[in-house]
Amino acid sequence: MSLPAHSPTGDYPATTPVHLLDLEAAADRLTAKLPGHRRQTETLAREAGTSVVMMAMEAGDAIKEHSAKSPVSVQLLRGHIALNAGGQALELRPGQLAFMQPNVPHD
């Protein structure tokens, strides 16, 4: 069974040789917009096919299983999540990062 691959679309930050990203400020922005909206996302950087995307989710929200053509990392800043990746059930807490090879199904 082939999973849907995520293909990014939309507006992206300007290309630059170096991106300095304030993750806490981005998290604050998204968290402020979150109540009643289930999920908020913002692309913080995109270069050479690699995206840095910040996502805030309300408790109980879920992302459908999918895969990506590129490696994927999921870094948790706040709260906790259950991540299913490559047949493994992971519980991520703040400060943890999961890194997946291309085409690994995850939700």
Tokens, residue 56: 């805030």
pTM of the model: 0.80
| Structure confidence at residue 15 as a pLDDT band (50, 70, 90) | confident
Q: In the chain, how long is the greatest CA-to-CA distance?
A: 39
pLDDT at 63 over 80: yes
**Average pLDDT in the chain:** 90
Give the C-alpha distances (Å, rounded to integers) separating 50 from 8, 47, 59, 67, 73.
10, 5, 27, 14, 11
Q: How many CA atoms lie within 13 A of 67 on its CB side?
A: 12
Residue 72 in this model has a pLDDT that exceeds 60: yes
